[in-house]
Amino acid sequence: MARSGINKRDLDKWARDVVKETNKSLERAQRRNPPRISAQIEATSSAVPGDVTGYLARLLLWLDDREKQNPGRYINVAAFPEELQLEDEDPAILALQLNQHDLVQILRTMGPHNHVRLTDAGRVTVRGLKDLQKDRAARIRHTTDALLRWLFDTASDHTPVNPALFLATPDSYFAGTEISETDLHQALAYLAEHNLIEHIDTDPPTVATTPQGTRCALAGGSVQDHVNQPRPGTTYNTYLPNAKGVIIGEQQNFTQNNTDGVDPTLFVQLAGYVGQVSPILGLPDEDRVELERVAQELHDEATSGNPEPGRLRQFATQLKDKLLEGASTMAAAQGIQMAEQALDALMR
């Protein structure tokens, strides 16, 4: 299982082992199914429109190569999905999408509008893509973001997944180039270092998202945004709606001078979260009021001068049980994960 307190050297060794296994697994997968190439771009430069991602970016680079071989001519984009084995991509739609951004000019003739050539804006965008390929920081940011999103989409219930499978997805390309072994190694180590994934001692090695990794994915921001956000210390600004929707604790600071070794941070966050999402859980009014009452009691205990571990455990367990009984939404699942994390921390 996952190990806690792992140091940087162990993380690097583990990530290198995963990459080695990734190569073996990917080679086997490629023999069974030829890879599909993409150029998903999460980081953009001023010369690359934000909507020009995925196959559109790859198509631009492909058109640039073809125009160098056939200067001044229109290029038939129907050859693009054929060469890259993109069975579900309509070349006419790809051409229209690029045309909407004024990146290509379409040859208007009878029949499918598959013949295009790059505009000046398209050539500038191609240059931007090539420059972006040199941006090492943007490449690593893309890899960590794409890998975490893929893990969440593949197994949002924290089921261990072989990260080798990631390299067979469109997101494993950046600005038209493959993500390298070093990129994957660094992304795995970085996500594990910041407790967004945990490594599982299996053969082949697998990884799973942690509750914190799930929160990062659900927030919709980047991994770097999540890592850089202020972490709560001993002063808490808690916003907990009561049963009538009134915010409790707004603009109040709760300073803990706690000498019993109990960190109430996770319990304060759990109480505030449940109070905020209770109206959208779809619970009957009676159950919702009871849920908010328990959240209020947990909030009061966690922000008291000396929170009692037994009462924190009692209220957090009640919240978890009520969420398990009455709600099946993503918000409820997140609350259950937060309760489990708080209870686990209390046992350490």
pLDDT, average across residues 39-60: 57
pLDDT of residue 75: 92
**Count of C-beta atoms within a 10 Å radius of residue 321:** 13
More confident residue, 308 or 239: 308
Residue type, 333: A
pLDDT > 90 in the chain, percent: 19
pLDDT at 178 over 50: yes
More confident residue, 68 or 344: 68
pLDDT at 158 over 90: no
How far apart are alpha carbons 135 and 43 in whole angstroms? 9
pLDDT of residue 273: 85
Domain range annotation of the chain: 8-32+135-228, 54-132, 235-347
H-type alpha helices, the chain = 8-32, 54-69, 79-83, 91-100, 120-132, 136-154, 181-193, 211-219, 223-228, 265-277, 285-302, 309-326, 330-347
How far apart are alpha carbons 123 and 135 in whole angstroms? 19
Q: What's the start-to-end Cα distance of the chain, in Å?
A: 17
Residues 6+ apart with CB under 8 A from 339: 270, 316, 317, 319, 320, 323
pLDDT of residue 127: 92
If you classify domain 54-132 with CATH, what class do you get? mainly alpha
pLDDT at 145 over 90: yes
Structure tokens at 17: 């082992």
How far apart are alpha carbons 59 and 108 in whole angstroms? 19
Structure tokens at 183: 């990129």
| pTM recorded for the entire structure | 0.54
pLDDT at 62 over 50: yes
If you classify domain 8-32+135-228 with CATH, what class do you get? mainly alpha
Most confident of 42-56, 129-143, 152-166: 129-143
- Assess whether the previous peptide bond of 204 is cis (omega < 30° from 0): yes
pLDDT, average across residues 269-289: 85
pLDDT, average across residues 215-239: 69
| Nearest Cα residue to 56 out of 41, 69, 71, 43 | 41
DSSP H or E run through 241: strand 240-241
Most confident of 42-46, 47-51, 68-72: 68-72
- 245 falls in which pLDDT band (50, 70, 90)? very low
pLDDT of residue 45: 41
- 20 falls in which pLDDT band (50, 70, 90)? low
What mean pLDDT value characterizes the chain? 76
More confident residue, 216 or 26: 216
pLDDT at 98 over 80: yes
Residue 7: what are its φ and ψ, rounded to 5°?
-95, 175
- 242 falls in which pLDDT band (50, 70, 90)? very low
- 22 falls in which pLDDT band (50, 70, 90)? low
pLDDT of residue 249: 42
Domains 8-32+135-228 and 54-132 share a fold: yes
Residue type, 319: L
Give burial (CB, 10 Å; 0-12/13-18/19+) of 146. Answer: buried
Q: Please state which architecture CATH assigns to domain 235-347.
A: Up-down Bundle (1.20)
pLDDT, average across residues 121-125: 92
Contact (Cβ atoms closer than 8 angstroms) between residue 300 and residue 321: no
CA pseudo-torsion sign 297, 300, 302, 306: negative
pLDDT at 26 over 60: no
- 24 falls in which pLDDT band (50, 70, 90)? low
- 328 falls in which pLDDT band (50, 70, 90)? low
pLDDT at 96 over 70: yes
Contact (Cβ atoms closer than 8 angstroms) between residue 293 and residue 338: no
pLDDT of residue 29: 45
pLDDT at 194 over 50: yes
pLDDT at 253 over 60: no
pLDDT, average across residues 10-29: 58
pLDDT at 347 over 80: no
pLDDT of residue 330: 76
More confident residue, 345 or 3: 345
